[in-house]
Structure 1
């Protein structure tokens, strides 16, 4: 009887998610193969999102350029800038699109039901029926093109929305560092490539490959559709079936992401980043030690390392941060636990240092960690860190972002890899 709950859909699961006072439902659209999760509760700030698994094949920024381009008009909404018009005229509480290392997401949120369905309509039409097929100039505008600059001394320069955006990103040392961390930790996987785009590689992308990527990955069989809040479920499911999903037949889309085998030993890499002409190189060095940590589908491990990163590097009493600062290796220390990949990574970073401090940096990190393993960590610091982490989870204050959006991002850390979409939302048992 459960399988017939929604016409056109295979009903897979219904479960309570007590931590966020919600009920979760997992469905598959029978004709197209689209995956759907409904998170039902009394929150009137409704969230819709459609995501696609988009592992990059190189560093031309294809997933990023496509994310921009599909929002430049579509079959039902031919305006060149529907995104801008929505931002001005909609009652949305969130409106954006995001390119991650292995997925692309299109989320919207609104408290008004009519507005919510309109936003959803615009986004679904954009991803499935974009104007990129009719107007190749969209690719040039959002990706890259040549333009003549300086009328007095004309010359050709490369420009483009994503190209210019990534030139800025690649001039920021911390952003560039994190890109290189991913590239070197996972050299035999799609994570070795920059989904956002390396400015040196972006001009290698052709319109033909751009279109091929859309045809391959922007299909319901490769889609993850999410709705959150006090949604009229039947109306929602009927709408996406009638208007979009029923137009497609199920396909097999090869988008699997392989695991990176262990590298075997500590490897060292050195990269350069730009500074201003005439600027001193003194105190401009960054060091990082980086570790691949299990898989994102292990909720206990990912939660533990989120707490460990905070405990070691973010509090006034953090033992690793204090040890590095005490030795005068650099002016600042921070940690990163990146869990939005199949294989998360943990990074210890020191900034405003100098090249001759590399050996000391490694020694202090490993000596401190070995000492903590041998003698233990202050129990009060552990308890305080867990309590703070738990408070943040229960408070669910995400600095203006809709809660439902943050929950979706967390869900994708398991759902994208064919695991239970709710494991990262069920945290009570992990904190006992």
Structure 2
């Protein structure tokens, strides 16, 4: 909820604080916790320091990633980053170094509008040692053909498709929840790049090649598109000093002028939703009489409209959170329920969206559930 301030432009008359080639973008306190954001004058890399008094130091290295098709480039890169880098060209080296820095390995996730790499260490010393190594893996991975074959996709001697990414998506692509969510995404965000499956779909992963992934990495994995967010007992100056070796490496490869020639992602405005859409999606199931899903979604306020977003989140929680919530009381926890459960989700893009999902529905109830829901809401 405080990231609006982190993204805010520098106010007029703000006296700029500097440290070793970094400029402070903003600084404030939240619940007595100092928070500051810094940007490198040389490379455009950003650092957010949230100075919490706690023994653990958590790092979130976030890259804004935007897909333009369903080939899964954001997801494949999430896997390939851990296969070695220019300075550490060995698979698994990153996790070995993390364990020596009192961290239980590293992790990552791919979302629709960003990819984030994480690490958590006991104390700041190990974290500061790991930080430049982690950034080297993110900005300068090896992306070898051998890594692509094992991690993304290959054909076995039996003619079967294999690969870590491919098998991961194969296990979920045709599940009811994914099929329904994808259909909602296609219509709710029509005309934007929010419609694409960043994890990839099987037919497009099969057509993907390593050169395409390299081009995608060059487009998005740039220092001026990287934000290092750190929570724990570590100062901004210590973070920026730890990143100095990477700053020097980046400058040796061209620096900021070359980076600024590539446009930043997610610059296209989201067009308004033109009409309501109803779709019925069939999926394979063992029981044809039960286990159906019903999903309904609405566009919400813009992400920067904090007050309305909080109001919407409170409303969705009020409607579904407990047995006495209006929707659950009328449709789930009642004498003749139309579903086994109901839950909500909020999509936090540049424009938000709210979604309700009913699970465990008998197929005979699919024709009445929308009418009942709208009756409760009215």
TM-score (norm 1): 0.77
2:367 partner SS: helix
Question: What is the alpha-carbon distance in structure 2 between the residues aligned to residue 245 and residue 301 of structure 1?
Answer: 43
Among candidates 66, 74, 77, match of residue 63 of structure 1 = 74
Among candidates 15, 40, 49, match of residue 29 of structure 1 = 40
Q: 1:289, CA displacement in angstroms?
A: 1.1
Listed as ranges, the gaps of 5+ residues in structure 1 are 149-154, 371-432
- The equivalent of 1:151 in structure 2 is none
Among candidates 123, 132, 149, match of residue 140 of structure 1 = 149
Residue 299 of structure 2 corresponds to residue 292 of structure 1: yes
Quick check: 1:296–1:339 contact (8 Å CA) kept in 2?
A: no
Map 1:372-383; keep pairs closer than 5 Å: none
Question: What is the alpha-carbon distance in structure 2 between the residues aligned to residue 8 and residue 320 of structure 1?
Answer: 55
- The equivalent of 1:335 in structure 2 is 343
> Could you give the per-residue CA deviations for residues 6-35 of structure 1, whole angstroms, max 9, x where no partner exists?
1201222211112xx311112110011122
Map 1:66-215; keep pairs closer than 5 Å: 66-86=77-97, 89-92=100-103, 95-132=106-143, 135-148=144-157, 155-215=158-218
What is the count of residue pairs matched by the alignment? 357
Among candidates 313, 322, 325, match of residue 318 of structure 1 = 325
Quick check: 2:301–2:352 contact (8 Å CA) kept in 1?
A: yes
Q: 1:83, CA displacement in angstroms?
A: 4.4
- The equivalent of 1:9 in structure 2 is 22
Residue 72 of structure 2 corresponds to residue 47 of structure 1: no
Q: Could you say what the CA RMSD is over the residues aligned between the two structures, in angstroms?
A: 2.2
Question: What is the alpha-carbon distance in structure 1 between the residues aligned to residue 155 and residue 311 of structure 2?
Answer: 48
Q: 1:309, CA displacement in angstroms?
A: 1.6
2:127 partner SS: helix
Question: What is the alpha-carbon distance in structure 2 between the residues aligned to residue 308 and residue 287 of structure 1?
Answer: 20
Listed as ranges, the gaps of 5+ residues in structure 2 are 1-13
TM-score (norm 2): 0.87
1:200 partner SS: helix
